[in-house]
Amino acid sequence: MTGRDDWRALYPFAPHYLAIDGARMHYVDEGNGSPILMVHGNPTWSFYYRELILRFRDRYRCVAPDHMGCGLSDKPAYHRYCMEQRVDELLVLIETLDLENITLVVHDWGGAIGLFAALREPHRFARFVLFNTGAFPPMRVPWRILACRIPWLGTLLIRGANGFARAALRMATERPERLSGPVAAGLLAPYDSWRNRVAIDRFVKDIPLTARHPTMLGLAILERGLPFFAPRPVRMIWGARDWCFTLKCAHRLRDLLPHAELFALENAGHYVVEDATDEVLRLVEEFLEGEGAPRAAGSGR
């Protein structure tokens, strides 16, 4: 196996699919026991969580979906690619698999999507691991993101030149040498054409810049609801050099979840799991196995 398919050796998971409204959502489902649900953001996919799945599938049920339009899921041209729809689709997966006592692991847009799903079905969620994310209206939108919102030009950049996913291989990391070869090929593999980059473009367009944007209301509701999770264990693992979800975002989440543990990794950027894999695995394992977060029976397969 050579060339563009080298990444498959890094992602040795059997595919699973769930039909939702005529399209297929792909997900990884490895191991048994209390579930760890890993929700990705933009422009990644379940490949981003491969090392966590490999580390924990011997003790936990590791479930990692690809949002519609992302990863190995179908990429319909005329789909409602918005936060509200993604929350609904994630809940369909959770309910179909009957996941209970969930440890929710999120990154980037996965934070808003996963935490909103938890607000909708709180009895299913036990604890949370947050990687460089947000769950509130944007504090600021960096110029590099705003450039991708320029009418027509932004879409040409994202869908035509693959300028969002490819640029992330440099801009979202402090260790670009790690995002080369098979790892880079894996992150980019599902997004190999104009058609297959539709969801990346729509994710960027779903960032609300005004109060009239429909996703702004959802993020405001989520922000008000986050304190509901105050009694539950939360560990935040943050790439401190992230220029998008900066440490100010982490501190805002801490204001809403004051009991949360925050670990800022000084030599990591937005792709914190790629930049600091060993340290992230250690911190997640310590959290999973630590006091106050027991694994309960009754949620395995």
C-alpha dihedral sign at 185, 44, 233, 250: positive
Residue 144: other Cβ atoms inside 10 A: 12
Over 90: is that where the pLDDT of 159 sits?
yes
Over 70: is that where the pLDDT of 281 sits?
yes
What integer is the mean pLDDT of 258-265?
Answer: 96
Q: What pLDDT is recorded for position 4? A: 65
The two tokens of residue 95 are 């309910």
- Cβ atoms 68, 86 nearer than 8 A: yes
Read off the pLDDT of residues 161-186 as tens digits, 9 standing for 90 and up.
999 999 999 999 999 998 989 999 99
3-class DSSP state of 92 = helix
29: left (phi over 0), alpha (psi -120 to 50) or beta: beta
Q: Tell me how far CA of residue 103 lies from CA of 39, 130, 197, 295, in angstroms.
A: 11, 11, 30, 9
Q: Could you name the CATH architecture of 3-289?
A: 3-Layer(aba) Sandwich (3.40)
What gap in Å lies between CA 51 and CA 277, rounded to an integer? 8
| Amino acid type, 120 | R
Q: Long-range contacts for 146-149 (Cβ within 8 Å, ≥24 apart)?
A: 148/204, 149/204, 149/205, 149/207, 149/209
| pTM, 2 dp | 0.95
Read off the pLDDT of residues 110-133 as tens digits, 9 standing for 90 and up.
999 999 999 999 999 999 999 999
Specify burial of residue 88 (Cβ count, 10 A radius: 0-12, 13-18, 19+). middle
Q: Quick one: how far is CA 183 from the chain centroid? A: 17
The two tokens of residue 200 are 């990346």
Torsion of CA 17, 90, 234, 213, to 10 degrees: 140
Mean pLDDT value across the chain: 94
| DSSP designation for 66 | P
Q: What pLDDT is recorded for position 189? A: 97
Residue whose C-alpha is closest to residue 283's, from 231, 235, 229, 230: 235
| Phi, psi torsion values for 265, nearest 5 degrees | -95, 110
What gap in Å lies between CA 67 and CA 282, rounded to an integer? 27
State the pLDDT confidence band at 291, using cuts at 50, 70 and 90.
Answer: low
Q: What pLDDT is recorded for position 128? A: 98
Torsion of CA 106, 111, 114, 120, to 10 degrees: 150
Query: In terms of DSSP bridges, do strands 61-65 and 102-108 run parallel, antiparallel, or are they unpaired?
Result: unpaired
